Amino acid sequence: MAHAIRRPLFRKPSVLPGFGLTLGYTLAYLGLIVLLPLAALVVRGTGLGVEGMVEALATPRVLNAFRVSISTSLAAAIVNTVFGLVVAWVLVRYDFPLKRVVDALVDLPFALPTAVAGIALTALYADNGWIGQYLAALGIKVAFTPLGIFVALTFVGLPFVVRTVQPVLEDLDREIEEAAASLGATRRQTFRMVVLPYLSPALMTGFSLAFARGLGEYGSVIFIAGNLPNVSEIVPLLIVIKLEQYDYAGATTIGVAMLAMSFVMLLVINLLQNWSRRWSTG
Amino acid sequence: MVDGVMTSETADAPAPAPTAEPWPVRWLLIGTALAFLLLFLLLPLVAVFIEAGREGWEAYRDALVEPDAQAAIGLTLLVAAISVPLNLVFGLCAAWCIAKFEFRGKSLLVTLIDLPFAVSPVVSGLIYVLLFGAQGWLGGIVGELGFKVIFAVPGIVLATIFVTFPFVARELIPLMEQQGTDEEEAARVLGAGGWRTFLWVTLPNVKWGLLYGVLLCNARAMGEFGAVSVVSGHIRGETNTMPLHIEILYNEYQFVAAFAVASLLAGLALVTLVVKSLLEWRYAGELAASHRH
């Protein structure tokens, strides 16, 4: 009976079996597949020392790759936030033909392999492509320029904002908008001062998810980017190039830098999601 | 109506809701959304099939029956057949201990399980090169045992498991948390053993959510490019999966062949989307709350 009054240190007692087995397997599998390899990267990277890492990162080519990756991801995430809000709004508030098909299609970038998206977008936006030929006539080159990277990242980031805003918008009580209207607010004022603040945590979460995805994206970008060093070369491609040259130290350093950026984005996204949850529940 | 002008049309129509947009705004928004989706989603999808069929049925078929393409298709199926079941078992284990028990450090564990989604595909491949490559921690041991991991099939499988790691677990955890432990406890009280409880009570309750997770896991496993590209070594007929085969064909300017192989993966993506949507519409109540649109 002594067990019954002892406060649980690690877990609450339960009549269900299998806790030790399943937790053990989960931890072992997680450790072997995810944590050990990630630790290998971090240890190999820090083994180079701060000086070695800075030296490997502070070359013009690497810095330019970071500039290209960050600026194109940012631009794509901004465009996706604006249009993602419009798409989510239309899907939640209005009725139109084939709405369900359109709703399902939004997830296409999650389902379509990135290499397939990459060659398809290149076929569309090359100078002789379906869309590219009209843009080329206007003097706009998309494929094989940073603009092409932006197009690819817009494609892969598209579902994030729509799918984070959509459920929040569905939960928004129409009575709040009615109250605003009955107090004399115009539709525009209601949207700007009531609806938009309510959606802003979700919008920022979606923006961050799209941005983080853009930073790491590889498959859809390399076909359309042209991969010109210092101009349209993204950071993940630089890791691949360093590996092909057997420059493991260089690849490791850039890998650690990218991992650090992923962790920062993960932290930001977690904070935003917590804020969003508190915001929408009261 | 404000000016007192009331035609028969406006008299019959219900008064416009104060929370609705006027119809020009409405149609402008719908038009903008559809144009954006057409340009960025539908056109690329259509382009895959049209480019694949550009030189007719014969050329399309030839690209798919050619030995290297067949080897790539076979390898892709093999890799998915190994990695998806492994992540399925892991997902069930993780969901069981996380959703059915209360213990310390749970939220940290959930965050760690989601970690692979935050890592760039290229970094996901790089970590295995650093671990199992010639100078890696485990590279020496593996080499002495006569195994080859990097630039061989085991490396491709490992990288695929990593990038598809969270799919099943993150689908099942919220679903099983939501369902609680009442039914399992009742089964136990009525004398069912642990396995019996799991197979007859838990599993039927989560079957559609499980299928949903497996479906997404499989789509990513068959389509993964970046991580697999880093560890594969691109040996034709041996370590090329379908996405890598597409890249080689494309870089050799064999566009029709590249799009022919791509059309198979695009077809898989469409099937995935259709089944996923059907699950969301029919079994909304039996999927995790996040999918109830």
Nearest to A119 among B219, B229, B250 (CB): B250
Helix (H) or strand (E) holding A32: none
Cβ neighbours of B36 in A, within 8 Å: 83, 86-87
Contacts for B112 with CB less than 8 Å, ≥ 6 apart: A30, A34, A35
pLDDT digits (tens, 9 = 90+) for B13-48: 555 566 778 888 999 999 999 999 999 999 999 999
Angle separating helix axes B43-52 and B255-282, nearest 10 degrees: 130
Question: How confident is the model over B149-174, as a mean pLDDT?
Answer: 95
What was the ipTM of the complex prediction?
Answer: 0.91
Distance between A54 CA and the closest CA of chain B, angstroms: 19
Question: How confident is the model over A236-252, as a mean pLDDT?
Answer: 93
pLDDT on residue A6: 56
Question: How confident is the model over B219-231, as a mean pLDDT?
Answer: 96
pLDDT on residue B6: 44
The pTM of the full predicted model, rounded to 2 decimals, is 0.91
pLDDT digits (tens, 9 = 90+) for B57-96: 999 999 999 999 999 999 999 999 999 999 999 999 999 9
Can you tell me the distance from the alpha carbon of A96 to that of A258, in angstroms, rounded to the nearest whole number? Answer: 42
All structural domains of chain A, each given as residue ranges with its CATH number in brackets, are 36-281 (1.10.3720.10)
Do A32 and A209 touch, CB atoms closer than 8 A?
no
- Kindly report the average pLDDT of chain B as a whole number: 90
Can you tell me the distance from the alpha carbon of A167 to that of B121, in angstroms, rounded to the nearest whole number? Answer: 28
Q: What percent of chain A has pLDDT over 70?
A: 95
CA neighbor of B41 nearest in space, from A137, A220, A102? A102
Cβ neighbours of B104 in A, within 8 Å: 10-11
User: Looking at this protein, which amino acid is placed at residue B166?
Assistant: P
Can you tell me the distance from the alpha carbon of A123 to that of A207, in angstroms, rounded to the nearest whole number? Answer: 28
H-only helix segments in A94-145: 99-105, 108-111, 114-125, 132-137
The two structure tokens encoding residue B220: 């990513």
pLDDT digits (tens, 9 = 90+) for A99-113: 999 999 999 999 999
Can you tell me the distance from the alpha carbon of A80 to that of A165, in angstroms, rounded to the nearest whole number? Answer: 12
- pLDDT reading at A9 higher than 80: no
Is residue A58 classed as helix, strand or coil in its secondary structure? coil
pLDDT on residue A134: 94
- Kindly report the average pLDDT of chain A as a whole number: 92
Confidence tier at B290 by pLDDT (50, 70, 90): low
Nearest to A119 among B32, B113, B258 (CB): B258
> Considering only A163-172, A231-240, B4-13, which range has the smallest mean pLDDT?
B4-13
Judged by CB atoms closer than 8 Å, whether chains meet at B259 and A110 is answered as: no
pLDDT digits (tens, 9 = 90+) for B114-133: 999 999 999 999 999 999 98
Among chain A residues, CA nearest to B277: A104
Among chain B residues, CA nearest to A91: B30
Judged by CB atoms closer than 8 Å, whether chains meet at A155 and B290 is answered as: no
Number of residues that this document lists for chain A: 282
Can you tell me the distance from the alpha carbon of B45 to that of B27, in angstroms, rounded to the nearest whole number? Answer: 25
Can you tell me the distance from the alpha carbon of B125 to that of A244, in angstroms, rounded to the nearest whole number? Answer: 13
- pLDDT reading at A64 higher than 80: yes
- pLDDT reading at B10 higher than 60: no
Exposed (0-12), middle (13-18) or buried (19+): which is B114, by Cβ within 10 Å? middle
pLDDT on residue B61: 95
pLDDT on residue B144: 84
